[in-house]
Amino acid sequence: MTLRSGGERGEERSGALRSGRDVREMFGRIVRRYDLMNRLMTGGRDAVWRRRAVDLALGEDAGDAPLLDVATGTGDLALALARAVHGARPVVGVDFAAPMVRAAAAKGRDANVLPSPAVGGGVGGEGRLAWMIGDALALPFPDNTFAACTVAFGLRNMADYEAALREMGRVLRPGGRLVCLELTPFRRPILGALFGWYFSRVVPIVGGVLSGDREAYRYLPRSVAAFPTADALVELMRQSGLTNVSYRPLGGGTVALHVGTKEASP
């Protein structure tokens, strides 16, 4: 399947509506109220969805191979991963927006992340956590490094979806899982219209008042409308080399939680 690239409403694209530079600058502007807006927009359900992403990423794996959270933002999913593992298993959170990485590091300190020059910190003695500035299209890690890779509400903002998926797959160990939590186009006849009105009218007003950047929250519904459907993303993940790809709808169908596996070596 080939995704179309264009700017028409509802058209699926091969990458984000805006350039990487524009997206980076936008997230740098809204970082101060980013977490608050996430809680308001989802009614606090985003924390529950992240816990489900953690459960999928870890599965029954109790090993010590490191875990990666791409487009970590203010670090919620990376912190959830670190809290879920035991011992000194490393967790790395990567984002290309420096203000987001600084916010994640500050949140980690508030959550009793202990400084460590070697890897960036330890969460209450349960897991070790590091923050890095890095681009999802060129991750600064060797092949076959991580037991699992997660990305929450970040793939939609990447310049090339398939290239990003392939890059995350590259750094996964054979048999490792890629878990993607993302908003998905909501196209049910009646509820879709109501949700579209809320998302395109109410969210920009509230986001503009709280963050001072209404345009950033106008971009949000447009980026979701142009993103592949959940079924299309399954095919894209398969094209990117992942196997056993599946998803579950969340939030009444407004969010999808995808998981795929890097094929194990023969």
Retrieve residue 97's tokens. Answer: 């927006």
CA 194 to chain CA centroid, Å, is: 25
pLDDT of 198: 67
- Angle in degrees, CA 180, 182, 188, rounded to 5: 130
Residue written as tokens 């690239």?
5
What are the residue ranges spanned by the domains of the chain?
A: 20-262
Give the gyration radius of the chain's Cα atoms: 18
Residue 19: CB atoms within 10 Å: 11
**CB within 8 Å of 16: residues ≥ 6 apart:** 23, 156, 157, 158, 159, 223
Strand order in the sheet with 146-152: 113-114, 122-123, 128-133, 90-95, 67-70, 146-152, 172-183, 255-262, 242-250
CATH of domain 20-262: 3.40.50.150
SS3 179: strand
pLDDT of 40: 87
pLDDT of 188: 64
CB contact at 8 A, 130 and 58: no
* DSSP designation for 135: B
SS3 155: helix
Residue written as tokens 């395109």?
200
Taking 50 as the pLDDT cut, the residues of the chain under it are: 1-12, 113-126
Q: What are residue 132's DSSP bridge partners? A: 94
Name the percent of the chain lying above pLDDT 90: 53
pLDDT tens digits, 148-203 = 999 999 999 999 999 999 999 999 999 999 999 999 987 765 566 666 666 676 77
CB contact at 8 A, 137 and 169: no
